[in-house]
Structure 1
Amino acid sequence: MTIAQDLDLSPQQERTLALQADHPEQLFRVEARYRLQADLEPADVAARLREVMARHEVLRLFLPSGGEKPSASALLDPGDALRFETCPAEEAEDRLAELRAPILGKGPILRALFIEHPGGAAALHLIAPATNADASTLDLLVAELLSRLEGSVSPTQTAPPHAAIVEDRLDRGRLESSKDLLQRWQEHLFAAPRVLEFPFGPTASGVEEFEPAALEMPVAADALAGFKRASEGTDCSLADWMLAAWRALLWRMSGEADLVLGLRVDARDSSSTATLGPLSSDVPCHIALTPELSFRELVQRARTAREDVSSSELFFSWALPGAHAEHDPSGDGFSFLFADHLGTHPPSAHRLECPAPFEMRLVLEGEANRPRLRLSYNAARIARSDAERTLERLETLLASAARSAERAVARLEVLGAAEREQILRDGAGPPCPAPPFATIQAQFEARAAAIPDAPAVHFEDGTLTYRELNERANRLAHHLRGLGVGPNTFVGILLRPSFELMVAIFGVLKAGGG
């Protein structure tokens, strides 16, 4: 182990270290799983992995948590920086739970689990702190690992190191005016709502409990076809389309039209595409939205928002001239995020990226002809069923937009047939049978049978009991039937208020008239 002297950290590394200090029970990390060719020996994989780590200091760099620039940073030996374990597939989840524990002491930095499947198949699951790696780092690491196992040369062997990239970008940032970036971050982040009301409860960034989980779904063929039709002749990408759909769904679910999303952006350029290290960052992305806006117009706004992000913004720091760290409104990060990793990751990789607490992060990944969406969410606050419902609603919205991109965002369908039916069923409540039908005269006769001697009518100084009123009404009913009164027969009554009026009313009803 050697002490790292005069170490420059990127702003995102410093933010992650500060977060880690505030959340010591949580490892802010990136992880991914890769399929390996059959019959690889775990010992060979571990040995080659240590060789890769020996070449890349960022994978061996121990950074103590804290808000200030670390003074006790150290470069670990590859053997100390790597924790390599092997287990059968049925034990993988339990072992991974142990490997996700925060770093205690000095290391290990990279955790690797060699998962053995029946029939000789295997997978390698990697976990690294967000201070040392991003999603692209793990992909590049595995690419070099596989090259070494095959005896070939990897592009990472000629890439500039992470420390050199950070030093160069920070020098450029100190020379450039940070005024515009400062204004942009302040405007976006101070305007961002910190709490959103969703059907499944309020959500906010900076939550005390954070337990990342993920779901995924393929992009439906009809949605992909609709995007291709709508984007023909334009410069809009599938990422623009998905960002617009995500923004529209969050508005439809929360009613918040002024939401600021976090947009995951990679700082690697043509000279550093193969550089390992945390060179990705979340930056503010504000897309103005109004109900009458068409989905096509929203896609154009999403494209503009993505294009407006400059590379220097990834190295914006509240420590630069004109900025004040104590006024940093970003808190623990963004509640809702979007990332475009389409075509940039191996199709076999299964990943989770959580460099800071969040509520939901939508990632577009996979291949151009087989894209898929991954929804990472905070399982400490959002139930899996609610996350699944969110993906289902996104799928419905994408299908609706695919049928007509000119439709107003407010009129896009969000509820699928199954959820719509469930809502109607829940809203209707349990069946309520109607009471047995009983006519007025039937209710009166039941009352007369139950309490015959009770007073039924009071008039002036006299009283009729139920029995007396019933008997007199029966006599009148028999007389009326003899005169031809029956169902659907109208009988007029012209009497002043009296006992006779009540006898006449019940007599006509008993005869079947009305």
Structure 2
Amino acid sequence: MHDQVTSEYSVHLCIHQLFEAQVACSPEATALVFEGEVLSYGELNARANRLAHRLIALGVRPDQRVAICVERSAAMVVGLMAILKAGGAYVPLDPENSGARLAFILGDTAPVLVLADAAGRQALGDALQAHTVLDPRDVQTEADTSPEVNGLTPKNLAYIIYTSGSTGQPKGVMVEHAQVVRLFDTTHPSFGFEASDVWCLFHSFAFDFSVWELWGALRYGGTLVLVPQAITRSPQAFYQLICEQGVTVLNQTPSAFTALMEYLQPSSDHLRYVIFGGEALRPSTLRDWYGVREESFPQLVNMYGITETTVHVTYYPLTSSDAQQADSVIGQCLPDLNLYLLDAHGQPVPMGEVGEMYVGGAGVARGYLNRPELTAERFLHDPFAGKADARMYRSGDLARYLPNGNLAFMGRNDDQVKIRGFRIELGEIAAKLAEHPSIREAVVVAQGEETDKRLVAYVLMQSEVHDASVDSETGLALAATLRDYLSSRLPDYMVPSAFVRMESFPLTANGKLDRKALPVPQEDAFAREAYEAPLGEIEVLLAGIWSELLGVEQVGRHDSFFALGGHSLMAVRLVSRIAAFGAELPLATLFASPTLKAVALAIEAQRNAGAVARASIRTLSRDESLPLSFAQQRLWFLAQLDSGISDAYHIPLALRLRGQLNVTVLKQALDALWSRHEALRSVFVTQEGEVEVRLLASDQGLPLREIDLPGSDAETELARLCTEEARAPFDLATGPLIRACLIRVPVASSADEHVLLLTQHHIVSDGWSLGILLPELSALYSAFSNHQASPLSPLAIQYPDYAAWQRQWLSGERLNEQAAYWKQALADAPTLLDLPTDRRRPEQQSLVGASVPIELSAELTTALKRFSQQQGVTLFMTVLSAWAAVLSRLSGQEDIVIGAPSANRGHCDIEPLIGFFVNTLALRIDLGDNPSVTDLIARVRERALKAQDHQDLPFEQVVEITQPPRRLSHTPLFQVVFAWQNYDAGQWALPGLEASHVGSSYEVARFDLELNLAEAGDRIVGALGYAMALFDAATIERHVGYLKTVLAEMTRDASQTVAKIDLLEASERTLLLKTWNSVDESCPAHLCMHQLFEEQVASNTEATALVFEGETLSYGELNVRANRLAHRLIALGVRPDQRVAICVERSAAMVVGLMAILKAGGAYVPLDPENSGARLAFILGDTAPVLVLADAAGRQA
């Protein structure tokens, strides 16, 4: 954040009054030049005054809008100045714009008057009907004195400039005089503009860059050269005009300046400043400039700005070194502004991380005309400014802080695209391309439909190309070279499909890059193996499956499943599809050879070997008893042992719904879900000693409990109800095993607000099922709201059908093969992961839990994705490797077993079902032999793929087969779990409602530690859950820090050994090595122990020193006795460093003897008479003392 600095602005003056001050100072100075016409400040003022009087006469008053549609001319500047002098706010309409745009703006602003010349009348056409129209040159008789306008203050509007809107309709930004005046006051210390400066008005007056050009020149008494429209389109002619007119201050968009640079001659112009704005600057485009120009003349300045915050926000003077950098540096914000980089939750991001720019301070505009909702959405209260009326603008632009405090521009939020599941920053790709020595500038765009987007790069070459292949006229050579260059620096999914070489980029009328005008890439722009259609039945079928799973339209023979966006869960779904036409494809095969052609060959080989297609799951008769699945049976058994365990297996969901909720329709949708999924209607009853499934009636519906919260302390009560609902026990025998509760929340606004609580027991649902339930609830609510039938396709099977199929399918040879794998994989596995805990492990496992949140930065997440792709593994495997490394270091064990939940939906028939399918795999990871990061990744990859190939055997049967030692204090096989949530939650929304998740305090600890992570946007987020009976929160926070450290180190250097990675963060290192090891140097190092005793004798002679069985010795008496014995020892030959053994029973004589030995200079060797004779004899022989002090007990021992 940038702390606001207050300055003395001309806060009591309007824009035109600053101009009038220059008129009074230098009336004869040249103010305006246009095509041979020259106006002095006095002449321009007189003309503007005449028109202003006419405007006032026609009813113009402060804050009223006056449209002006004229071609470039002196009359244009006169008209703008006159509107301000009359108190109005000008609305610039460029005759070059489309008639539809001009008509919309005219209708939206409803001006009291329109200033238009012949070109303006023609451009506006029929839109001028019902408007008062005045030609700005048709005023010759009015007074030329400055008009007096009552009530006009700097807080009145100065102009309304329209910017493009995301909905397609332009939006008018309302800017006041004060916001423009302070812009020049706050930037003056940086520029020092003078009356001798010559500015040019290059940009359209309907573009906010013109505000800086026009009013900057006239504010400082400089000369404004109005550039003719035709010359703005010719860089060569424009530069000639710059030279002829002696322009010193040039304002350009980077795209326009790139075109101009070709004609610049250092000795021909008088430029002092070139100021960039309007769009992002790619520093590499300036390499040619700095090659022929002096370092600081003219000074190039990069200024980021937004129309809504009055033209400019930041300031950064460029140097030649910037041209060699990839970052688009925009510097620091102007002194009277605040700039915050915030995350999606409105919180500041850490240094170096990308955040959205929010701008507060004196430049924030009034808002959008006639768009109160959009104004409320973008112009927000500034919570960081410490003022009740402080506002900030949400820019939609991204940036990050560099170590030196400058900001680097990272593009717009909408420059982030998602292609095949990967979130991609287009600016990052363009920046990498611009680092190539032969590329001057690059632009990357995403083209195509939502499900078939592709990246296309457009490049401008350096004047001197450094790579012969890049200089080739063949597009394929260029594309191949640049693709190879990026492939070594970016993940595959960030490498463009096509590379288009251009001579220049197309520009809009405002000089910005016109992305819509970029050409469609031709065939030679694609740097890849030519598309080859699938061949044969298997490849065609397989391509159809890939297309469905990955959401891509076209799949070629040489396309890679993972390059197209596949991940491990998607791979499992692919394998299940493949099984349907006769092949059990191991996941390891898919990872090793992921192209369509290779997978098809593997399937064909299996078919030739006699593989049989996996049969569809048949439907059971509902007249016979329905079985439990293996997972249900185990959970039911646990619930019979301990109801508290059952209560720990709840799946709570809380959704906040803002807007007009139709409760009747919601009930209908919930009832439809209840009827649709038999799993939700299942209960578990015992019949003749055997448990079976019974189904509750489909027509009874799902009860919806409704609660109205009181107005006072509603959020506290809501939190209590959410926790209460999540913890309330289920009766597995009577059900229902899903509950619905709707809470009405009182709110201050007129909008309704509810919280919907859905709680399920794990025995009928799982995490994947939430990704089915929510979209289906959304679809049903939407349809029923519109009086339509259910849009959901009927389900072919239900969960009880799967349970019966599972028991039949997992038998015989298949069961034996799966069992053999797990028996071998877990043979002699450690019983317990012995982590250091804050408390002793209780005799019986406690389920009380808590968690610490985790968020990996966007930068680290991107690095992990790139690293994973380079290593040929999934993100899950990479993080699992890091987590195993952390656990190994903490426990000191090299043999680690971690539980990993698997969706276990390997049959395509069960993908649309709600139910308890998840299976937990015991992944045994070997960290022995000091593996490198790469070695560990390979081990984890192999173990994870083999486990997934054998995931059909339920965890409860794995436990039975392996027979691990069982204890009530911990779970069998593993005590730590890592859950990677990569199931697709689907797209869901309830019409007319804004839905968001509500946090819950319901947390249980089924394991010692449970790491839950998922991708969320451009980050990895989640939490580390822990058993409160074992750990403190501070310990878990350190564990999270260790994990982040290891992940970062793995991406930095994959060749280093895992054991060499330093886990400690700087703060913990300081604590361990310094804070807890501070040295107290106050002790007298020159004294011996007996001398410290003698100091006490001198100061406290009569004080009691020793008590033993009624005998008491003072310090003086103890000292005298020890001295006597010490003299005797010295007489017997004791000297410093010589050893004297002492073997006496507990008595005052023992202490006297020890003190005497020290006083004589010896070292005592204590021998306890209670010890064994052998031990005492060994010590006596080993030390070879010069003397032994012994009483009767010592002699005997």
**TM-score normalised by structure 1 residue count:** 0.74
CA 1:84 to 1:376, structure 2 compared with 1: closer, same or farther past 3 Å?
farther
How far 1:304 moved relative to its partner?
A: 2.1
Answer yes or no: is the 8 Å Cα contact 1:36–1:122 preserved in 2.
Answer: yes
Answer yes or no: is the 8 Å Cα contact 1:29–1:355 preserved in 2.
Answer: no
Query: Which residue type is aligned with residue 763 of structure 2?
Result: T
1:298 matched to 2:924 = no
Other-structure match for 1:434: 1082
Task: Give CA-to-partner distance per residue, 1:228-261, whole Å, 9 cap, x none.
Answer: 3423444311111111111111111111221221
Answer yes or no: is the 8 Å Cα contact 1:342–1:367 preserved in 2.
Answer: no
Q: Secondary structure, in 3 states, of the residue corresponding to 2:910?
A: coil
1:394 matched to 2:1043 = yes
Other-structure match for 1:215: 852
Query: Which residue type is aligned with residue 111 of structure 1?
Result: R
Other-structure match for 2:674: 53
CA 1:327 to 1:171, structure 2 compared with 1: closer, same or farther past 3 Å?
same
Task: Give CA-to-partner distance per residue, 1:139-186, whole Å, 9 cap, x none.
Answer: 311211111111185657446322222322332212543223222333
Given candidates 659, 666, 670, the residue that maps to 1:38 is 659
1:91 matched to 2:91 = no
The 5 A counterparts of 1:242-261 are 242-261=879-898
CA 1:445 to 1:106, structure 2 compared with 1: closer, same or farther past 3 Å?
closer
Answer yes or no: is the 8 Å Cα contact 1:261–1:284 preserved in 2.
Answer: yes
Given candidates 9, 13, 22, the residue that maps to 2:641 is 22
Given candidates 299, 313, 316, the residue that maps to 2:951 is 313
Distance in 2 separating the partners of 1:8 and 1:448 = 90
Other-structure match for 2:209: none
1:236 matched to 2:873 = yes
Distance in 1 separating the partners of 2:692 and 2:654 = 33
Answer yes or no: is the 8 Å Cα contact 2:772–2:986 preserved in 1.
Answer: no
Distance in 2 separating the partners of 1:324 and 1:253 = 26
Q: Secondary structure, in 3 states, of the residue corresponding to 1:30?
A: strand
Answer yes or no: is the 8 Å Cα contact 2:744–2:753 preserved in 1.
Answer: yes
1:410 matched to 2:1047 = no
Distance in 1 separating the partners of 2:1086 and 2:842 = 61
The 5 A counterparts of 1:192-211 are 192-201=829-838, 207-211=844-848
Answer yes or no: is the 8 Å Cα contact 1:212–1:378 preserved in 2.
Answer: yes
Other-structure match for 1:480: none
Distance in 2 separating the partners of 1:421 and 1:448 = 42
How far 1:203 moved relative to its partner?
A: 8.6
Other-structure match for 1:276: 914
Given candidates 627, 630, 638, the residue that maps to 1:8 is 627
The 5 A counterparts of 1:300-379 are 300-310=938-948, 313-316=951-954, 325=960, 328-329=963-964, 332-333=971-972, 334-342=974-982, 344-345=984-985, 357-367=1006-1016, 369-379=1018-1028
How far 1:124 moved relative to its partner?
A: 3.3
Other-structure match for 1:382: 1031
Q: Secondary structure, in 3 states, of the residue corresponding to 1:63?
A: strand
Distance in 2 separating the partners of 1:419 and 1:273 = 46
Answer yes or no: is the 8 Å Cα contact 1:204–1:359 preserved in 2.
Answer: no
Gapped runs of 5+ residues in structure 1? 459-514
Answer yes or no: is the 8 Å Cα contact 1:136–1:345 preserved in 2.
Answer: yes
Distance in 2 separating the partners of 1:383 and 1:132 = 33
Given candidates 776, 797, 804, the residue that maps to 1:144 is 776
CA 1:168 to 1:445, structure 2 compared with 1: closer, same or farther past 3 Å?
closer
Q: Secondary structure, in 3 states, of the residue corresponding to 1:45?
A: helix
Answer yes or no: is the 8 Å Cα contact 2:775–2:986 preserved in 1.
Answer: no
Q: Secondary structure, in 3 states, of the residue corresponding to 2:1022?
A: strand
Other-structure match for 2:739: 111
Other-structure match for 1:131: 763
Answer yes or no: is the 8 Å Cα contact 2:653–2:757 preserved in 1.
Answer: yes
CA 1:362 to 1:156, structure 2 compared with 1: closer, same or farther past 3 Å?
farther
How far 1:198 moved relative to its partner?
A: 2.2
CA 1:324 to 1:272, structure 2 compared with 1: closer, same or farther past 3 Å?
closer
Answer yes or no: is the 8 Å Cα contact 2:924–2:943 preserved in 1.
Answer: yes
Other-structure match for 2:927: 289
CA 1:190 to 1:339, structure 2 compared with 1: closer, same or farther past 3 Å?
same
CA 1:234 to 1:390, structure 2 compared with 1: closer, same or farther past 3 Å?
closer
CA 1:328 to 1:17, structure 2 compared with 1: closer, same or farther past 3 Å?
farther
CA 1:377 to 1:436, structure 2 compared with 1: closer, same or farther past 3 Å?
closer
How far 1:387 moved relative to its partner?
A: 2.5
How far 1:131 moved relative to its partner?
A: 0.8
Answer yes or no: is the 8 Å Cα contact 2:819–2:961 preserved in 1.
Answer: no
Distance in 2 separating the partners of 1:250 and 1:134 = 27
Answer yes or no: is the 8 Å Cα contact 1:89–1:115 preserved in 2.
Answer: no
**Number of residue equivalences:** 451
Task: Give CA-to-partner distance per residue, 1:197-250, whole Å, 9 cap, x none.
Answer: 323247989953212433332222332233234234443111111111111111
Q: Secondary structure, in 3 states, of the residue corresponding to 2:1020?
A: strand
Answer yes or no: is the 8 Å Cα contact 1:21–1:65 preserved in 2.
Answer: no
Q: Secondary structure, in 3 states, of the residue corresponding to 2:759?
A: strand
Answer yes or no: is the 8 Å Cα contact 1:225–1:402 preserved in 2.
Answer: no
1:180 matched to 2:817 = yes
Larger mean Cα displacement after TM superposition, 36-45 or 246-255? 36-45
CA 1:202 to 1:301, structure 2 compared with 1: closer, same or farther past 3 Å?
farther
**TM-score normalised by structure 2 residue count:** 0.34
How far 1:438 moved relative to its partner?
A: 9.0
* Cα-Cα RMSD: 4.3
Query: Which residue type is aligned with residue 342 of structure 1?
Result: N
Distance in 1 separating the partners of 2:842 and 2:945 = 25
Answer yes or no: is the 8 Å Cα contact 2:856–2:1021 preserved in 1.
Answer: yes
Query: Which residue type is aligned with residue 636 of structure 2?
Result: L
How far 1:359 moved relative to its partner?
A: 1.6
Answer yes or no: is the 8 Å Cα contact 1:248–1:409 preserved in 2.
Answer: yes
Answer yes or no: is the 8 Å Cα contact 1:241–1:299 preserved in 2.
Answer: yes
Other-structure match for 1:504: none
CA 1:248 to 1:446, structure 2 compared with 1: closer, same or farther past 3 Å?
closer
Other-structure match for 1:101: 728
Query: Which residue type is aligned with residue 976 of structure 2?
Result: F
Larger mean Cα displacement after TM superposition, 343-352 or 279-288? 343-352
Answer yes or no: is the 8 Å Cα contact 1:240–1:302 preserved in 2.
Answer: yes
Task: Give CA-to-partner distance per residue, 1:453-488, whole Å, 9 cap, x none.
Answer: x99x99xxxxxxxxxxxxxxxxxxxxxxxxxxxxxx
Answer yes or no: is the 8 Å Cα contact 1:257–1:288 preserved in 2.
Answer: yes
Answer yes or no: is the 8 Å Cα contact 2:933–2:1054 preserved in 1.
Answer: yes
Query: Which residue type is aligned with residue 902 of structure 2?
Result: V
CA 1:449 to 1:239, structure 2 compared with 1: closer, same or farther past 3 Å?
closer
CA 1:147 to 1:89, structure 2 compared with 1: closer, same or farther past 3 Å?
farther
How far 1:103 moved relative to its partner?
A: 1.8
Distance in 2 separating the partners of 1:384 and 1:242 = 22
Distance in 2 separating the partners of 1:4 and 1:85 = 36
1:63 matched to 2:684 = yes
Distance in 2 separating the partners of 1:65 and 1:360 = 34
Answer yes or no: is the 8 Å Cα contact 1:144–1:154 preserved in 2.
Answer: no
Aligned identity (percent) is 22
Distance in 2 separating the partners of 1:368 and 1:448 = 75
CA 1:344 to 1:256, structure 2 compared with 1: closer, same or farther past 3 Å?
farther
How far 1:279 moved relative to its partner?
A: 1.1
Query: Which residue type is aligned with residue 128 of structure 1?
Result: Q
